[in-house]
């Protein structure tokens, strides 16, 4: 075998190995447990409003766990589940930058809650994902649009290929 043939063969083998490594790092389609914590940096609480003693603000940090189902198409596009506020309407994901074990993107939303979310997600292996979504925008409250800012941090753990009764996660459109 000539040196050229040897180099080509070695190059093809290295490419195959790197593609195999990429496939192993991506998340897996199926059922995931996602624990998310929402923290407000700027709430839509109208200025001058104070809560009575003993009443907790509806804008206090909140944590909840939910199950999400990811399809193969979602994994191919986004790599793994990522945090974002699913109550937003008319959202589009842009500037998607995928690396072997991470993703960054921006999500722009219009509607009652409008603004831009910066998304960061990483998956150290195919069974765990960590995400942060930072939103800056406005929330329509009556005739006023009040500035809001919040961060959603999440950790997701893969549970298995069968989603059971859990419907696929509704992800925003991506460009």
Lowest mean pLDDT among 13-22, 23-32, 56-65: 13-22
Backbone angles phi, psi at 149, to 5 degrees: -150, 130
Q: Which of 89, 75, 166 minimizes the C-alpha distance to 121? A: 75
Lowest mean pLDDT among 20-34, 61-75, 128-142: 20-34
pLDDT reading at 4 higher than 70: no
Residues contacting residue 119 through CB under 8 Å, at least 6 positions apart: 82, 83, 84, 93, 103, 104, 105, 106, 107, 131, 132, 133
175 vs 173: CA distance, rounded Å: 7
Q: pTM here?
A: 0.77
Higher model confidence: residue 16 or residue 92?
A: 92
For the segment 66-71, the average pLDDT, to the nearest whole number, is 93
7 vs 165: CA distance, rounded Å: 51
- What does the pLDDT look like over 133-162, one tens digit per residue? 999 999 988 898 999 999 999 999 999 999
Structure tokens at 86: 């699913």
Phi-psi region of 95 (alpha: psi -120 to 50; beta: other; left: phi over 0): left
Lowest mean pLDDT among 28-42, 94-108, 138-152, 159-173: 159-173
């Amino acid at each position: 075998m000539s040196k050229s043939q040897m180099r080509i063969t070695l190059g093809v083998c290295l490419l195959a190995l790197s593609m195999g490594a990429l496939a192993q790092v991506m998340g897996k389609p199926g059922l995931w447990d996602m624990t998310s914590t929402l923290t407000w940096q700027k709430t839509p609480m109208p200025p001058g409003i104070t809560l009575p003693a003993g009443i907790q603000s509806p804008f206090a940090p909140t944590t909840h766990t939910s199950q999400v189902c990811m399809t193969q198409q979602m994994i191919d596009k986004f790599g793994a589940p990522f945090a974002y506020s699913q109550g937003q309407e008319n959202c589009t994901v842009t500037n998607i930058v995928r690396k072997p074990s991470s993703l960054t993107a921006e999500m722009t939303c219009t509607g009652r809650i409008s603004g831009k979310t910066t998304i960061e997600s990483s998956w150290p292996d195919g069974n765990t994902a960590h995400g942060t979504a930072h939103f800056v925008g406005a929330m329509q409250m009556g005739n006023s649009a009040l500035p809001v800012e919040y961060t959603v941090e999440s950790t997701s753990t893969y549970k298995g290929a069968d989603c059971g009764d859990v419907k696929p996660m509704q992800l925003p459109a991506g460009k």
